Amino acid sequence: MTTRGADATIPRFHRRRGRAFRTEGMQPIVLSAPWFDEAETDRVRRALSGRLAGNGPFGQRVEERLQQLLGAPRVLLTTSCTHALELALLALGVGPGQEVVCPSFTFVSTANAVLRVGARPVFADIAEDTLGLDPRDVERRLTPRTAAIVPVHYAGVAPDMDGLGEIARGRRLRMVEDAAQGLAATWRGRALGTLGDAGALSFHETKNVTCGEGGALVLMDPEVALRAEVIREKGTNRSAFLRGAVDKYTWVAEGSSYVLSDVLAALLDAQLDKLAEIQARRARIAARYREELAPWAERRDVHLPPRLADREDNAHLFYLLYPGERQRDHALALLKSCGVQAAFHYVPLHSAPHGRALGLDRVPLPVTERVAATLLRLPLHPLLGEAEVGRVVDAVRRTLP
Ligand SMILES: Cc1ncc(COP(=O)(O)O)c(C=O)c1O
How far from the centroid of its chain's Cα atoms is residue 392's Cα? 24
Write down the pLDDT at residue 125. Answer: 98
Alpha helices of 300-363 — where are they, by DSSP H?
A: 325-337, 353-357
Q: Ligand 1 center to residue 109 CA distance, Å? A: 6
User: Which of 31, 76, 81, 150 has the most ligand 1 atoms within 8 A of CB, as the residue to mutate?
Assistant: 81
CA dist., res. 168 & res. 173, Å (int):
5
For residues 381-392, one letter each, b for 16 or more C-beta atoms within 10 angstroms of the residue's C-beta and e for the rest, the string is bbbbbeebbebb
Q: Are 99 and 120 in contact (CB under 8 A)?
A: yes
Q: What residues does 216 pair with on adjacent strands?
A: 77, 201
Q: Ligand 1 center to residue 287 CA distance, Å? A: 25
pLDDT of 1 over the 50 cut:
no
Percentage of the chain exceeding pLDDT 90: 93
> What lines the ligand 1 site, CB under 6 Å?
80-82, 106-107, 109-110, 152, 178, 180-181, 202, 204, 215
Phi then psi for residue 360, to 5 deg, are -90, 10
Atom of ligand 1 nearest to the CA of 154: 1
Q: Ligand 1 center to residue 25 CA distance, Å? A: 35
Write down the pLDDT at residue 25. Answer: 58
Q: Tens of pLDDT along 45-65?
A: 999 999 899 999 999 999 999
Write down the pLDDT at residue 27. Answer: 86
User: Could you tell me which residue, 331 or 25, shows the higher pLDDT?
Assistant: 331
CA dist., res. 182 & res. 306, Å (int):
17
User: Which of 83, 85, 181 has the most ligand 1 atoms within 8 A of CB, as the residue to mutate?
Assistant: 181
Nearest to 122 by CA among 98, 155, 158: 98
Reported as a pLDDT band with limits 50, 70 and 90, residue 15 is very low
Q: Ligand 1 center to residue 250 CA distance, Å? A: 32
Q: Ligand 1 center to residue 212 CA distance, Å? A: 12
Q: Tens of pLDDT along 83-141?
A: 999 999 999 999 999 999 999 999 999 999 999 999 999 999 999 999 999 999 999 99
Atom of ligand 1 nearest to the CA of 202: 10
Cα separations in angstroms, 174 against 35, 53, 60, 217, 265: 36, 32, 27, 15, 29
Q: Ligand 1 center to residue 132 CA distance, Å? A: 15
Reported as a pLDDT band with limits 50, 70 and 90, residue 164 is very high
Q: Tens of pLDDT along 293-312?
A: 999 999 999 999 999 999 99
Residue count of the chain: 401
Instruction: Let me know the angle formed at the C-alpha of 270 by 265 and 275, rounded to the nearest 5 degrees.
Output: 110
Atom of ligand 1 nearest to the CA of 83: 11
CA dist., res. 294 & res. 292, Å (int):
6
Q: Are 229 and 239 in contact (CB under 8 A)?
A: yes
Which DSSP string do the residues of 108-121 spell out, in sequence order?
HHHHHHHHHTT-EE
Across the chain, mean pLDDT equals: 94
pLDDT of 13 over the 70 cut:
no
- What single DSSP character describes residue 221? S
Nearest to 101 by CA among 92, 111, 116: 111
